[in-house]
Structure 1
Amino acid sequence: MSTFSAESSHARSNPVAEPRAIRVLRHVWIPLSDGTRLSARIWLPQDAEEHPVPAVLEYIPYRKNDMTAGRDNTIHPVFAQAGYAAIRVDMRGCGDSDGTMADEYAQSELDDGLEILSWIAGQSWSDGGVGIIGKSWGGFNGLQIAALRPPELRAIITICSTDDRYADDVHFNGGVIIGSEMLSWASTMFAYNARPADPRIVGESWREQWHRRMNEPPYIDTWLQHQRRDDYWKHASVCEDYSAIEVPVLAVGGLYDEYRTTLFRLLDNLNAPTQALLGPWAHNYPHQGNPGPAIDFLPEAVRWWDRWMKGIDNGVAEQPRLRAFIPNSARPGKDIAERPGRWIAEQQWPSNNIADARFSLSEATRNGSPTMSSTESIGSAAGSWLQFGEVAGQQTDQREDDAESFTATWPELESPLEFVGTPAVNLTLRSDTPRGLVAVRLCDVGPDGTSRLVTAGMFNLTHAESHEHPEPLEPGSRFAVRIPLLASGHRFLEGHRVRVSISASYWPWAWPTPEETKVTLDLAVDDGLLLPVRQNSDDSYTQDEFRAPTPPPPNPIQVDGVPMTRTLATNLVTGETDLVLNNEARQHDSQDGLVYYTWDQDRYLRTAGDPLSAVAECRRVEHFSRPAVPGAPTPNAPSEISQAEASAGWDAKLCTFSRMTGDKDFFFITNELVAYEGDQQVFSRSWSTTIPRDLN
């Protein structure tokens, strides 16, 4: 096996090797033109006032004081030590920032982002240049702000994000409503948006602001009113005009993350300098990558900033356009903490080393009926659609689901087969109703018969011609459809077999059609799998930053949590399945005294044979507390907050419940919110909405 080693400038740019002294501004107000103030935390090199520096911005709704405080302390001090002003801003309506938040990626969010960049550039410690980094939400708006071409922006690092809000988020996949995420994420944002500002920062006005936030309607009502790719989803989807992005982009993703296809679309379509880094992890920053191996990502990020914001010729511009971790075949459950495999690189993209290999269904061993029912109990082994690396969220052995699906399994491999990119499956189908969906899985079948999920995709068959203009199916009529799977990379080892599994049901990932639907494969047509196979796979790639992460700076945030649990109960008499996921965490800020507790539960019920039995229920608890310390100094409080306010105790809790069901024509959504100060209930409200189905 040949090895290619990148010449890294790690010795020159490693932020840990020669760290600069820094200072932290725990709370700074950023004023906006409409009078709104955004709350920020800033890490600065000690001498930045005398020697202005470039800035790195992370702009998200997840609360700098508590929710992401621990993670922020692993990132932004390192950037400051490397000679950057690191700015972490809470969006409008979040944390201690003024106002309420209208929706994901609303125009006001992007307009505020432009004002933040202008404000940063005008500070005495700033040299005028800004980079944006962010994971998930911050990765989204980094791309979106870049497309607005602000003059201050020099480069971005976008992690676990998307260029197409309809294609890749937690709402739809292939036009199918993601049953395990649509309500779950809406429920999470329903609770997040209702969280109060900290009275130590904003003073007595926190209660009035809290009540305004708690009266904001849930987002799911809007999301479900737009079930096709209309102007709502086109807004802030940078794929509508890739040419608008002119700054260098480092796109980062993980093989267990639902957003990973974005990397390849950005490589295919951006004209600005673009590189992609695809690791083995889930929805994580790579230095906290889980499952591993994690990498020393912060020096990698600093090298990116050094090249594009300081003009240092450090070899970054000459790096391969794609660097990817390729896992080897492994028995399900044997690589839950760290995946076996290696890093590879493709210097150019598109790569001459990659070509689509066609796997014809006629050449495979086929099992299961080609007529598939939408009411089958299939999908519980899939794991979570949106994964954070927890063991309970990872997929399990697919054999049970395979046994209930139509499968095509090709012969044992005589030598390893390796691919990286976006697979697709071509199928010719008929449906006996005007609606229908299919779920397609690519699996690695081991010599012992175990079946490992490599990647998957879902498709709403009424969207066969267009996600923007779906049409009812003509029952019994044959049609062809190409189903893209989520991008991935994998090495099938010798003796293993490639399998495609197809079903008309996949709960809870896919919200089921409202009547029993029989979808039939036309096996007379020689359809099959298209796999982007690497022609030369006897190689590997190394660089300094792919080592184990450097230990983070000392962190005052102490986090305790109960591992995520996932339980499935099946009633063998009625056929009802009950899937329950639980998460619980508590963190304490030793500098501030703040305790933040969060608990959430998602529950998915369905009865085999009953097309209208699907139920999603989500519960959330958000609790903030700080003991009163009368007379104690509170140096972190703004000057306008009195000593009495700053040293007072705080105990605020909110509990939410959300539920989604449906009949043949409508979805029914309920949301409830109750809030407490100490033991006293101070707020209660419920919302009920009926939303028409739109070919879903």
Structure 2
Amino acid sequence: MRAVGWIGVLAAVTAAVPGPAKDYADVQRTSLYVPVRDDTKLAVNIYRPASDGKVEEKRLPVIFVFTPYRARFKDKDGAIREVALEDGLALRSLISAGYVVAVADIRGKGASFGARRGFQDRTEAKDGHDLVEWLASQSFSTGKVGMIGCSYLGGTTFHTATTAPPALKAVFVGASDLDKYAFVRRGGITAQFNTRPDEPLSDDLASVPVDGDADGQQLKSAVAQHAQNTPMAALWYGMPYRDSVSAFTGNRFWEEVGVYNYLDAIQRAGIATYFWSNWHDEPTAQSILSAANLKGSKFLAGPGSHCVPPPGFDFTGEVVRYFDHYLKGADNGIEKEPRATYWVEGLDGKGGYARSDALPGANVTPMQWFLNGGRSGTARSVNDGTLGAKPDRAGADKFTVRYDLPGADYFAFWAKPMDDKGLSYTSAPLDKPLKLIGYPVVNLRVSADKPDADVFVYLDQVAADGEAEVVAFGRLALAHRKTGKAPYHVMGLPWHSGRKADVAPLPVGQQANLAIDLTPVSRIVPAGARLRVTIAGADPRQRNLKEIQQTPAPVFTVERGSAGGSWVKLPVAN
């Protein structure tokens, strides 16, 4: 099916499908501790729809959210914040539409007891399983449960699904990963995600105690156990290889938390899956692969940043319709609609949503552009290399890694242009628009004066007035350059195993090819704009940059021109 503009499709869908009923203006909340299989007590808050102060007595389906960020807590001003009463995940609207919403704190966080062994590990997944089945057995429940979440909450949703609780019928997974090693240590390099310091115990002490804990003593006892939590950044930094054994967990933890190992369980159970992320968010690359590896999955991508409800799209309506179909049996046609809905920047000159049965990155034609020399064909500055459809004369460019980088935001979910920190290669202005949907892939022919160093690649769109924005980026350590066959479908992208036996320093001065897949793009680059590839050796979003920088800084040589040089393949869509 050819992707079409969202506006026309939206009109047709709206005319055919009535919007979700919003019959319940009130909410009744209760909270309690629920023991899981090892008797650890987890704090669960339950929100039941009500009208005119009276709770709905008939059985309703349940939406479950499993969070490390406190289900219910007092903010710095003393106001009570409740995840279920906000609508970033459509939870308040789901209550209004006739769902019970349950939000639980994971073990080791919030008001729950226990200590966190790992990060989205099998213990946590089994906890999710037990709570799903407990919720399904309650008198307010029809026995059908759905889950929704984004970021960590998307991960708890995805991992719980891998345990295939019989009552779990549908999940809506936002900004999570299929392969945690390939995400957290992409290309062998840890960067922004998942490496921040853990929250202090005082944050958990700000949780509101469950109803039966009037004096807060159980909350204090629970939080005291959180002091034994495994530190997250140290966990990730301590496992450089895919098959590393963690000093904290005593096993090959990357394998334990790789969802791709458990996809058959989700498929056999018949759990419906919907994946969501946004284009200015690094997990989108993993969300597309998650959808590609689960038959029948739906996919949504908006233009925003991390876990922001997609602007210009009825996100709440989509979530409610999805669960209405799979938990209430509503014949609303959502399962028959195109598989993918995604924002295309520049569509119709501004931007809009397209719908397609093909995921972004499928059914595209790679367009190869070569990294060439400067327009003079002689020695050049770092900013005047060119991109062209044909390679020019063979040559080489050198750059020294720059560590004098601008400070990054604490949550810098997206990269900024780095053209003044390395080598840049820029195309001529486009003579006609270029539609890019999918993953750009860069091949660099390089050598270095150090046996291991990091390479960062950025694809920029440069407007006619010179304003630039990063539209895709990737990273790879020299020692992690070896590619292999992935244990899941990678849509033709290079896959770096990261296993210890495959990681090897590059002898000084020896050339090697680096295959680097960039984050996916979805845009129409307008006529007159240019595309630019920048190569650098460090990124300001690396939280441990001071610890890993080398002195003296590495010097890279990039081979360009000729068919055996360096190039980028762009995913061109019709």
TM-score by length of 1: 0.67
- What secondary structure is seen at the aligned counterpart in 1 of 2:13? coil
Range with bigger deviation, 340-349 or 252-261: 340-349
Q: Structure 1, residues 421-474: CA drift from partner, whole Å, max 9, x if none?
A: 121111111122211111100001111222211121111111011312311221
- Out of 127, 134, 153, the residue aligned to residue 138 of structure 1 is 153
C-alpha distance in 2 between matches for 1:518 and 1:281: 36
2:66 pairs with 1:59: yes
C-alpha distance in 1 between matches for 2:365 and 2:460: 20
1:506 corresponds in structure 2 to 539
Aligned length: 504
Shift of 1:139: 0.7
Q: Structure 1, residues 598-634: CA drift from partner, whole Å, max 9, x if none?
A: xxxxxxxxxxxxxxxxxxxxxxxxxxxxxxxxxxxxx
- Out of 365, 370, 393, the residue aligned to residue 360 of structure 1 is 370
Q: Structure 1, residues 299-342: CA drift from partner, whole Å, max 9, x if none?
A: 1101111122222221211222221112239xxxxxxxxx9411
Closer/same/farther in 2, CA of residues 146 and 164 from structure 1, 3 Å limit: same
2:444 pairs with 1:402: no
C-alpha distance in 2 between matches for 1:420 and 1:299: 26
Shift of 1:195: 4.0
Q: How is 1:445-456 mapped onto 2 (pairs within 5 angstroms)?
A: 445-456=462-473
- Out of 353, 373, 377, the residue aligned to residue 404 of structure 2 is 377
- Out of 413, 425, 437, the residue aligned to residue 454 of structure 2 is 437
Shift of 1:488: 2.3
Shift of 1:21: 5.1
Q: Structure 1, residues 355-410: CA drift from partner, whole Å, max 9, x if none?
A: 222122249868528222234434x38766643xxxxxx665x3xx3133211111
- Out of 505, 508, 515, the residue aligned to residue 482 of structure 1 is 515
- Percent pairwise identity: 25
- What secondary structure is seen at the aligned counterpart in 2 of 1:20? coil
Contact 1:260 1:488 in 2 (8 A): no
Q: How is 1:386-401 mapped onto 2 (pairs within 5 angstroms)?
A: 386-387=412-413, 398=417, 401=418
C-alpha distance in 2 between matches for 1:502 and 1:405: 5
- CA-atom RMSD in angstroms: 2.9
Closer/same/farther in 2, CA of residues 441 and 385 from structure 1, 3 Å limit: farther
2:349 pairs with 1:326: no
C-alpha distance in 1 between matches for 2:411 and 2:27: 40
Q: Structure 1, residues 178-204: CA drift from partner, whole Å, max 9, x if none?
A: 1x4554x2x144557764654575333
Q: How is 1:257-656 mapped onto 2 (pairs within 5 angstroms)?
A: 257-271=281-295, 273-286=296-309, 289=310, 293-328=311-346, 340-349=350-359, 354-362=364-372, 368=382, 370-378=397-405, 380=406, 386-387=412-413, 398=417, 401-465=418-482, 466-469=497-500, 470-509=503-542, 511=545, 512-515=548-551, 516-523=553-560, 524=562, 525-535=564-574
2:490 corresponds in structure 1 to none
- What secondary structure is seen at the aligned counterpart in 2 of 1:174? helix
1:24 corresponds in structure 2 to 28
Contact 1:395 1:453 in 2 (8 A): yes
Closer/same/farther in 2, CA of residues 359 and 406 from structure 1, 3 Å limit: same
2:419 is matched by which residue type in structure 1?
Answer: D
2:278 corresponds in structure 1 to 254
Closer/same/farther in 2, CA of residues 269 and 413 from structure 1, 3 Å limit: same
Contact 1:444 1:454 in 2 (8 A): yes
Q: Which one has a larger percent strand, Structure 1 or Structure 2?
A: 1
1:35 is matched by which residue type in structure 2?
Answer: D
Closer/same/farther in 2, CA of residues 243 and 502 from structure 1, 3 Å limit: same
2:102 is matched by which residue type in structure 1?
Answer: I
Q: How is 1:195-214 mapped onto 2 (pairs within 5 angstroms)?
A: 195=205, 198=208, 201=211, 202=213, 203-214=216-227
Contact 1:364 1:409 in 2 (8 A): no
1:161 corresponds in structure 2 to 176
2:253 pairs with 1:232: yes
- Out of 2, 13, 19, the residue aligned to residue 8 of structure 1 is 13
Q: Structure 1, residues 512-539: CA drift from partner, whole Å, max 9, x if none?
A: 443422221122523311111111xxxx
C-alpha distance in 2 between matches for 1:209 and 1:312: 41
Contact 1:457 1:483 in 2 (8 A): yes
- Out of 69, 84, 91, the residue aligned to residue 72 of structure 1 is 84
Shift of 1:10: 7.7
2:536 is matched by which residue type in structure 1?
Answer: S
C-alpha distance in 2 between matches for 1:232 and 1:429: 32
Range with bigger deviation, 495-504 or 77-86: 77-86
Structure 1 spans left out of the alignment, 5+ residues: 330-338, 388-393, 536-696
Closer/same/farther in 2, CA of residues 76 and 502 from structure 1, 3 Å limit: same
Closer/same/farther in 2, CA of residues 438 and 190 from structure 1, 3 Å limit: farther
2:119 corresponds in structure 1 to 104
Closer/same/farther in 2, CA of residues 85 and 9 from structure 1, 3 Å limit: farther
Contact 2:439 2:571 in 1 (8 A): yes
2:281 is matched by which residue type in structure 1?
Answer: D
Contact 2:28 2:55 in 1 (8 A): no
Closer/same/farther in 2, CA of residues 194 and 39 from structure 1, 3 Å limit: closer
1:404 is matched by which residue type in structure 2?
Answer: K
Q: Structure 1, residues 203-248: CA drift from partner, whole Å, max 9, x if none?
A: 3344444433345453333222101222311212112343332222
- What secondary structure is seen at the aligned counterpart in 2 of 1:234? helix
Closer/same/farther in 2, CA of residues 199 and 87 from structure 1, 3 Å limit: closer
Contact 2:558 2:566 in 1 (8 A): no
Closer/same/farther in 2, CA of residues 193 and 423 from structure 1, 3 Å limit: farther
1:116 corresponds in structure 2 to 131
1:244 is matched by which residue type in structure 2?
Answer: A
C-alpha distance in 2 between matches for 1:132 and 1:126: 14
Contact 2:70 2:204 in 1 (8 A): no
- Out of 266, 271, 295, the residue aligned to residue 245 of structure 1 is 266
Closer/same/farther in 2, CA of residues 484 and 146 from structure 1, 3 Å limit: same
C-alpha distance in 2 between matches for 1:367 and 1:492: 26
2:487 corresponds in structure 1 to none
